[in-house]
Structure 1
Amino acid sequence: MKEIHNDSLRLQFIERSGYKALFSTEVVNDARLFHVEAGDFIVREGHQPLFLFYLVRGRARLYATQPNGRVSLIDFFAAPCFVGEIELVNQGHEPRDVQAIEECWCLALPMKSYRPLLLGDTLFLRNLCVALSQKNYRNIVSLTQNQSFPLVNRLAAFILLTQSGDVYDEKHTQAAEYMGVTYRHLLFVIAQLTREGLLQKQKSGYAIRNRKALVALAEEMEPAH
């Protein structure tokens, strides 16, 4: 992750993302701009973030290390959203790894100096509550889908969510655990999608060959259907 010292670009991201409207506190002058390459980390597990990040472009994944050492895939973030907001509100919260799926851009406020200001900013707190409620609702929908739809539909949606540059390369063990299925069942459905020409096995992961068909499978889980 690298800080970008380009004030024109920084102000463009602030303007286009509606960042300023999230706060009643004046934040524009102190907001910093960071660029994150795919695979790099925005937050590292066990290390309190120095900034409250606002993801303005890109997607990221959240990991947690279990007591037995196993690394579990927990959640996904897509712009626009805050990253590090739980650590802002609760300093005792144990940070987890947040890794960029693709190239990401983040605006950021220094955590130490802005914590007291933001915790007294009712507009920011209201927006944060809305964001957290939306995240909670999304997780409820995901849990319901896991219980109600075949793996082929859920895997199609998962592939579209996690792919980068039309390549799906999530670890099978973590993907199976995230979707609540066996490793064997996951491999069976991936093989099915490969036989049907939706995916193509390559050296690193699977290339998406029929995005339209994957989207159609994922959309079968939408309420309109």
Structure 2
Amino acid sequence: MKEIYNDDLKKQLIRDSGYLGRFSVAVERATHLFHIAAGDYIVEEGAQPVWLFYLVRGRAKLYATLPNGRVSLIDFFGASCFIGEIELVDTRHEPRAVQAIEECWCLTLPMKSFRPQLLNDVTFLRNLCIALSRKNYRNIVSLTQNQSFPLTNRLAAFILLTQHGELYQEKHTQAAEYMGVSYRHLLYVIAQFTRDGLLQKKKTGYAISNKQALFTLALAMDPERNFSALLT
């Protein structure tokens, strides 16, 4: 993660993302701009974030290490959204790891100095409540989809969520756990996608050969397109 000192780019991202509308307090002068390369961490697990992040470009994933040592995927983030807002509100919350799936750009505010202002900012808190309610709704729908749709649809969506540069590289154990299926069942469907020409096996993962077919399978679970923005 690297801070970028480019006022023109920062002003453009502030304007294009509607960032200032998330607050009623003056934040522009105190806002910093960070670039996070694919695979780098926005928040490290167990380390209280120094910054409140506002993701304006890119996608990231949230995961946690369980007591038995297994790593469990929890959620995915797409622009525009806050990252670190739970730690802002609850200082006792144990931070989970947030890792960039692809190149990410974040506008940030120093957590410590802005916490008192933000926790008394009605506009910010209202936007935060809306964002958290939408995230909760998305998670409920995701749980329903896991119970109602075959793995072919769910895996197609998962591949689109996690791919970077048209390459899918997630660990099979984590993917199977996230979707609540057996390792063997997951490998069977991946093999089916490969036979049908949707994926192509590479040394470093699976290249996406037919993205439109994956979109068709994924969007069958999302007819109202409530979550399809995360798949782009």
Give the TM-score taking structure 1 as reference length.
0.98
- The answer to whether the aligner puts 1:58 opposite 2:58 as a matched pair is yes
The aligned residue for residue 187 of structure 1 is: 187
The aligned residue for residue 161 of structure 1 is: 161
- Identity within the alignment, %: 72
Change beyond 3 A, Cα 1:132–1:208: same
Amino acid at match of 2:26: E
Change beyond 3 A, Cα 1:205–1:122: same
The aligned residue for residue 31 of structure 2 is: 31
The aligned residue for residue 228 of structure 2 is: none
Shift, 1:183, TM fit: 0.4
Amino acid at match of 2:3: E
Separation in 2, partners of 1:166, 1:31 = 33
Gap runs ≥5 in structure 2: 226-232
Shift, 1:220, TM fit: 1.5
The aligned residue for residue 135 of structure 2 is: 135
The aligned residue for residue 79 of structure 1 is: 79
Shift, 1:219, TM fit: 1.7
Separation in 1, partners of 2:172, 2:203 = 15
Q: Where do 1:93-112 residues align within 5 Å?
A: 93-112=93-112
Where 1:29 maps in the other structure, the secondary structure is helix
The aligned residue for residue 114 of structure 1 is: 114
Change beyond 3 A, Cα 1:92–1:224: closer
Gap runs ≥5 in structure 1: none
Amino acid at match of 1:157: A
Separation in 2, partners of 1:206, 1:165 = 11
The aligned residue for residue 3 of structure 1 is: 3
Where 1:143 maps in the other structure, the secondary structure is helix
Separation in 1, partners of 2:107, 2:224 = 35
Amino acid at match of 1:220: A
- The answer to whether the aligner puts 1:211 opposite 2:211 as a matched pair is yes
Where 1:194 maps in the other structure, the secondary structure is helix
Per-residue CA deviations over 1:44-72 (Å, capped at 9, x if unaligned) read: 01100000000000000011010111111
RMSD across aligned C-alpha pairs, in angstroms?
1.0
Where 1:48 maps in the other structure, the secondary structure is coil
The aligned residue for residue 16 of structure 1 is: 16
The aligned residue for residue 48 of structure 2 is: 48
- The answer to whether the aligner puts 1:202 opposite 2:197 as a matched pair is no
Amino acid at match of 1:185: H
> In the comparison of the two structures, how many residue pairs are matched?
225
Amino acid at match of 1:176: A
Shift, 1:224, TM fit: 5.8
Per-residue CA deviations over 1:141-180 (Å, capped at 9, x if unaligned) read: 1000000000001000111111111001111000000000
Change beyond 3 A, Cα 1:47–1:224: closer
Where 2:91 maps in the other structure, the secondary structure is coil
Separation in 2, partners of 1:219, 1:190 = 18
